[in-house]
Chain A
Amino acid sequence: MALVFALRQLAHVRLPEYSRRTAAASWGAWLTGQRSFKTGTQPLRSNSKVTVHFVNRDGEKITVKGSPGDSLLDVVINEDLDFDGFGACEGTLACSTCHLIFDEEVYQKLGPITDEEMDMLDLAYGLTDTSRLGCQICLTKALEGMVARVPESVADIRQSKDGSL
């Protein structure tokens, strides 16, 4: 135990900035020294926030602001938006629960899509041609005023079709 304690002390002196991590902190960023605590990787250069309009499963519009570099999943978590089951794997590309649907012109501005994201999108419920995973979309000023629609979930379908559950 003494060793554990000593190491912990050392760690706190040497690496204080790493001792606080958010749920969405990136280990890769730590490894490469970028010190980002978000799923997004773009540097924080601007203080000006980006406005995002989410449309939830009931069709209600929720307008929030996020910082450039934040992912849309970060925004949902930071703003404490209640989309049931959203972002289950915390942005680690193991599920497709942060599936969002965009307008065509916004979709074109969202940046490149990786093979791993496409693989996960294949497993998304209610997939469209303009679907992306929220954890992979980083905010930029060019996306100001974007609309992101949360698709109907499997649970919604079940409730609407089968009253017994």
Chain B
Amino acid sequence: MAMLSHLTATCWRNFQGGRLNTQLFYGLRALHKSGASDAAGISATEEGAISDRLITQGDVGDKTRVKTLKEMPGPSTMSNLIEFFWKDGFSRIHEIQIEHSKKYGKIFKSRFGPQLVVSIADRDLVAQVLRAEGVAPQRGNMESWKEYRDMRGRSTGLISAEGEDWLKMRSVLRQLIMRPRDVAVFSDDVNSVVDDLIKRVYFLRSQQSDGLTVSNINDLYFKYAMEGVAAILYECRLGCLETNIPQKTQDYISALNLMFSSFKTTMYAGAIPKWLRPLIPKPWEEFCDSWDGLFKFSIIHVDKRFTELKGQLQRGEEVKGMLTHMLIHKEMTLEEIYANVTEMLLAGVDTTSFTLSWATYLLAKNPDIQEQIYAEVTQTLGPGTVATADDVPNLPLIRGLVKETLRLFPVLPGNGRVTQDDLVLGGYFIPKGTQLALCHYSTSFDEENFPNSSEFRPDRWIRKDTTDRVDNFGSIPFGYGIRSCIGRRIAELEMYLALTRLIQKFHISPSPLTTDVKAKTHGLLCPGAPINLQFIERQT
């Protein structure tokens, strides 16, 4: 998320994408999914066996008999509780997803308290759900986000809004930042942030005794992603990549960190009934504090741009930019602009930074593949040429690198949908209003979808010609369709340009301090330990 889908993806987090979208919601979803505790293993297996028998009988007796939710296999409520609250299943949600799909099949149900969740761990079923979407798909319960906004008199944004409110804002924003050619014009803005990223790598290296290592690389990428998104959303630079970060920016980073670090408690903020808040006040208070900080920062920057813009227009100067467009056209109210800029920034930071961290980690661990990509980049661009969006079509391995990284480490390991109509899915009747969990992590590792799925192979995404189909619903890190990550193209551009330049400038190696780093889920799929990398300058 950071914010947009992914800010997209994200897909900004789908803003997808909304990507960020997701944190609360994904956590809740995941809650429901998990569950296979050892204690409950036996009964769960029995349940699965019974259900298998039912399926067989149904098939023999009546080919078209649609089964009910009651017949669907899945872990028990108690095993879910144990898994998550006693065994910290939250950080292993992605692994539990795979375990459960192996144990219960490609569609299974989990219960968390009163909430039932149907998990879909099959490419074709995921496709069926997303293709059948209506005009305003719903991801999950965003009540706590909405409650905060109502309490403060703020608008909802693309992540927290639903129905008509959501569709109205989405219609405006997608016309600004979703088309690749509309986003390509941001190349120069993004490249100036990449300049600072490279300078920062040199500086951080120089602070280490070996003169090569950048420790905890995600911290650097977090600042890069934040600076990049802000350059587009606020039309100004924040100074995240400077040695002395301005105080206001530092305050915002703190608010973001509070939001991310208190993820679990803020999730409870939505899960804990309102009447319990006087007894357990902390989650809700932290939730409100971090939102206060995020909104405050956005409002300062939007208002600042508003004032500048007024002066520019009075002087008859030419103006351009995304925020400028929103402020001039007023297709959304000022409150809606505040809310969307806030949610997009939130969605577009850690989503992008985690993906950059994994991408460079994978390059460091696979030096042969890194050399192939380096060869492609130097042959295409020549030494020292700074790539723009126009060069990306000629860098298929750079695109493959990002796709493959997101397949192995999908920053949003699952996504949610609330069904808007009755549906028959995998032979089961799913009533309208059911919470679905789309298990993207699980389908990304399905051997049927991706042979040798645990191998890092960016070239699996290279097409032989324009009719060669290499992708499918098995890996859709930014989502698909009208509620996919609205920040997808911005996030992609930020990653393509940063990775291309890093590969041009440096040979990236693992630090002797970093062995294998595993993923853990903390709202999003993130590195479970700091990634330390050596950046060895290339001779040009």
Contacts and interface: CB of A to CB of B under 8 A. Distances in A.
A119 B480 CA distance: 11
Interface string A110-143: 0001111011011101010100000000000000
20 contacts: A4-B330, A4-B334, A7-B309, A7-B310, A10-B310, A10-B314, A11-B329, A15-B328, A21-B175, A27-B325, A28-B184, A28-B185, A89-B174, A92-B174, A94-B178, A94-B480, A94-B488, A97-B481, A116-B489, A158-B424
Contacts of A8: 330
Nearest to A135: B179
A28 B175 CA distance: 9
B131 interface: yes
Contact of A18 (B328, B466, B470, B482): B328
A122 B128 CA distance: 14
Interface residues of A, number: 48
A117 B174 CA distance: 16
B175 A90 contact: yes
A160 interface: no
B306 A7 contact: yes
Contacts of B396: 115
Interface string A40-75: 010000000000000000000000000000000000
A15, A89, A158: which has the most chain B beta carbons within 10 Å?
A89
Contacts of B184: 28
Interface of B: 64, 66, 127-128, 131-133, 135, 171, 174-185, 306, 309-310, 313-314, 316, 320, 322, 325, 327-330, 334, 392-393, 396, 399, 422-424, 463, 466-467, 469-473, 476, 480-482, 484, 486, 488-489
B471 A27 contact: no
Contact of B178 (A10, A25, A92): A92
Contacts of B470: 122
A164 B334 contact: no
Contacts of A119: 471
Interface string A1-35: 00110111011001100110101011110111000
A155 interface: yes
Contacts of A88: 133, 135, 481-482
Contact of B313 (A7, A91, A129, A162): A7
A127 B165 CA distance: 33
B299 to A, nearest CB: 14
Contact of A94 (B309, B393, B473, B482): B482
Contacts of B179: 26-28, 91-93
Contacts of B466: 113, 118
Given A10-B314, A95-B480, A123-B476, A30 B185 contact: no
